[in-house]
């Protein structure tokens, strides 16, 4: 009788038992969607064997969400074929917040078709079809998809001899899985939108319809999601950026933002923040070229592994998509000794990545970007302490920006370079560094890069959305490709370890996340609209000018248009996103004070007192907690 382990408890099962049989014994069985068996994400229909370790996942787990939405995409594909018999399906993956299916239709797909498609999807769901995993040969797949050029392309490109497909009802799709057990787990299903999309994202290929949907395993979750989506639309960084005149895009430079003065102020505010931290933490800023000879990209491996994402100039030069090769050249420029390590090099150089035009999306997916990119060259014995420093650094930055975050440790993948012992030592160093910190992190087994384990940081915004920004990556291979060496204390030579790390990620993407998190009201120290000065009328004009000049070190604007009522000017300042509204009237002029509004609360301050408080807040990069707390906030 096989025995398996769940949460360190041993459970005995009958022969041939599946993970679903085990799940049926658990109190939360109705919520279980998928499982991990010995660390591998698996269907609930998978047979468990003696000694297996099984972990069950619910929708609250991000991996289970992706499986759930992937299964829902299959339901959508099934519904499309039933509703439009001549349709040709392409691919249907999950996304960060739902799923889509690309399809070639003979007729235009419009919003009027949504209800029809939803009705068919719900019929399929109600039938409670089981997701059945099958194995088919390449020849069988080519025969099955002989009338579908898109599926045929995937079979030819991705399948060698055979591949799994998942069958649900009369529908089957080329897929590696895993999936939920049956369609009945889907309790709500909605078509959200549709758009055009090129096959494989290439404008040279056929234009398809991309149909987006979302689904949930519990009723009520859809309503909450749609409410959050409406809030997200209101805070879309493209909308906020346009309303605040922060940035714009132009067809002459797709994927490259034009930052206007106030947008540049936010951009430079983030860069200056990181630069100040660099100086305090022993990083040295360098400047490296943008355009390199193709030989560098051959040496680094980018030409072989990253060519499609690079901008090449003829066949001899290429714009840099990353800073690490340039930093390796700096390290190799002169003989290095152990006394120089750790060597921490930072670079805000402009990077260019050839993202497909159809994938470009505001500031979140661009072609021209800058990162708070740094590379630490260190000995193996210094890895743990340097990782600890990186974790403390990113925690400090994210707290200043007002974000909470999750930590993921990604370990050795199936295909990797280097020795197992080297990987084990590196992973152990990362674990010790994480344990020494807050100690709360998840393991992503087998999700490391082929050249080293990594730590990914997922930040949570005000709408509880997740964004991956920071990364800390160990690299044993790049030092070998560039033949990097340092002289040890015993006179011998050794290759350093490289730690790739970025905290903001791209500055552009971080600005997008901040705008969608805060709307127009960014943290005071970072806001391009810190103070609005609103004089009551012409009689206080001279005092208002004194106040304006006294606070000129801040981003201040006077709302003194006499053609507008006082209340309208106050409203304009609020809607415009100004954090502190300073009102100057005859009473304030007589007492040499200021009436200060923060978040619709008002309090009187002396001009010098308020100036000192705000200066302290900006210097220490602290947000304003509210008008009542300003006086005590500097203590």
Nearest to 586 by CA among 533, 537, 534: 537
Give CA angle at 619 (613, 624), nearest 5°.
Answer: 50
Residue 457, helix vs strand vs coil: strand
Q: What is the 3-state secondary structure (H, E, C) of 584-604?
A: ECHHHHHHCEEEEEECCEEEE
Nearest to 579 by CA among 620, 618, 624: 624
- E strand or H helix at 427, and its extent? helix 420-436
- For residue 302, the number of C-alpha atoms closer than 13 Å in the C-beta half-sphere is 23
> What span, in angstroms and rounded, lies between the C-alpha atoms of 155 and 147?
13
Q: Checking DSSP bridges between strand 258-259 and strand 247-248, what pairing results, if any?
A: antiparallel
> What span, in angstroms and rounded, lies between the C-alpha atoms of 264 and 246?
7
> What span, in angstroms and rounded, lies between the C-alpha atoms of 231 and 378?
45
Active site residues: 324, 353, 371, 373, 375, 454, 500
* Rg of the Cα atoms in the chain: 29
Q: Which single residue is written with the structure tokens 């040496």?
A: 299
Main-chain phi, psi angles of 439, to 5 degrees: 75, 5
Tokens of 482: 């560039």
Residue 502, helix vs strand vs coil: strand
By the 8 A CB rule, do 490 and 457 touch? no
Nearest to 189 by CA among 95, 84, 103, 115: 115
Q: What is the 3-state secondary structure (H, E, C) of 506-556?
A: EHHHHHHHHHHHHCCCCCCCCCCCCEEEEECCHHHHHHHHHHHHHCCCCCE
By the 8 A CB rule, do 628 and 596 touch? no
Nearest to 92 by CA among 108, 81, 107, 106: 81
- For the chain, the residue count is 635
> What span, in angstroms and rounded, lies between the C-alpha atoms of 469 and 472?
10
By the 8 A CB rule, do 488 and 352 touch? no
Nearest to 614 by CA among 546, 547, 536, 541: 547
Strand partners, 207: 198
Residue 431, helix vs strand vs coil: helix
Can you list the positions of beta strands (E) in 200-341?
207-216, 247-248, 258-259, 284-285, 291-293, 312-313, 317-319, 336-337
């Amino acid at each position: 009788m096989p025995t398996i382990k769940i949460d360190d408890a041993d459970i005995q099962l009958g022969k041939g038992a599946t993970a679903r049989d085990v799940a049926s014994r658990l109190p939360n069985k109705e919520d279980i969607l998928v499982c991990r068996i010995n660390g591998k994400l698996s269907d609930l229909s998978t047979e468990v064997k003696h000694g297996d370790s099984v972990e069950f996942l619910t929708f609250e787990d991000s991996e289970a969400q992706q499986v759930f939405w992937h299964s829902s995409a299959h339901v959508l594909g099934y519904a499309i074929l039933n509703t439009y018999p001549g349709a040709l399906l392409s691919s249907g993956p999950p996304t960060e917040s739902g799923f889509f299916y690309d399809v070639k239709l003979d007729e235009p797909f419009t919003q009027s078709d949504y209800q029809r498609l939803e009705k068919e999807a719900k019929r399929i769901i109600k039938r409670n079809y089981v997701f059945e995993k099958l194995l088919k040969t390449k020849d069988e797949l080519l025969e099955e998809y002989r009338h579908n050029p898109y599926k045929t392309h995937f079979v030819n490109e991705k399948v060698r001899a055979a591949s799994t497909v998942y069958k649900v009802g009369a529908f089957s799709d080329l897929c590696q899985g895993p999936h939920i057990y049956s369609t009945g787990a889907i309790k709500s299903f909605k078509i959200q939108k549709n758009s055009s999309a090129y096959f494989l994202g290439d404008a040279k290929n056929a234009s398809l319809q991309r149909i987006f949907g979302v689904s949930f395993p519990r009723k009520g979750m859809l309503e909450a999601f749609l409410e959050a989506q409406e809030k997200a639309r209101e805070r879309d960084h493209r909308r906020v950026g346009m309303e605040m005149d922060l940035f714009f895009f132009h067809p002459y430079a797709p994927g490259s933002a034009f930052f206007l003065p106030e947008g540049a102020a936010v951009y430079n505010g983030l860069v200056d923040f990181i630069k100040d931290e660099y100086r305090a933490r022993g990083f040295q800023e360098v400047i490296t070229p943008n355009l390199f000879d193709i030989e560098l990209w051959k040496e680094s491996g980018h030409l072989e592994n990253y060519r499609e994402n690079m901008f090449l100039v003829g066949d001899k030069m290429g714009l840099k998509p990353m800073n690490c090769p340039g930093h390796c050249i700096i390290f190799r420029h002169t003989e290095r000794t152990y006394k120089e390590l750790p060597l921490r090099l930072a670079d805000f150089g402009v990077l260019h990545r050839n993202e497909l035009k159809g994938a470009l999306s505001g500031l979140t997916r661009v072609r021209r970007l800058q990162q708070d990119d740094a590379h630490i060259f260190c000995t193996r014995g210094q890895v743990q302490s340097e990782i600890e420093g990186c974790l403390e650094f990113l925690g400090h930055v994210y707290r200043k920006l007002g974000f909470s975050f999750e930590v993921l440790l990604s370990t050795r993948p199936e295909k990797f370079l280097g020795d197992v012992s080297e990987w084990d030592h590196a992973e152990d160093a990362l674990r010790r560094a994480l344990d020494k910190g807050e100690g709360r992190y998840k393991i992503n087994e087998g999700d490391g890069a082929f050249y080293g384990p990594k730590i990914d940081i997922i930040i949570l915004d005000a709408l509880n959305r997740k964004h991956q920004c920071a990364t800390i990556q160990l690299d044993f291979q790049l030092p070998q490709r560039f033949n990097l060496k340092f002289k040890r204390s015993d006179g011998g030579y050794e290759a350093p370890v490289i730690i790739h790390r970025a905290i903001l990620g791209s500055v552009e993407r971080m600005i997008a996340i901040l705008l969608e998190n805060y709307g127009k009201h960014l943290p005071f120290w970072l806001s391009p609209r810190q103070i609005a000065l609103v004089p009551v009328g012409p009689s206080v004009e001279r005092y208002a000018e004194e106040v304006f000049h006294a606070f000129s070190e801040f981003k201040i604007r006077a709302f003194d248009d006499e053609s507008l009522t006082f209340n309208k000017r106050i409203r304009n300042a609020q809607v415009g996103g100004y954090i502190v509204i300073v009102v100057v009237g005859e009473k304030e002029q007589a007492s040499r004070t200021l009436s200060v509004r923060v978040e619709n609360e008002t309090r009187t301050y002396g001009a010098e007192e308020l100036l000192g408080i705000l200066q302290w807040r900006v210097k220490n990069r602290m947000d304003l907690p509210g008008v009542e707390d300003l006086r005590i906030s500097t203590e």
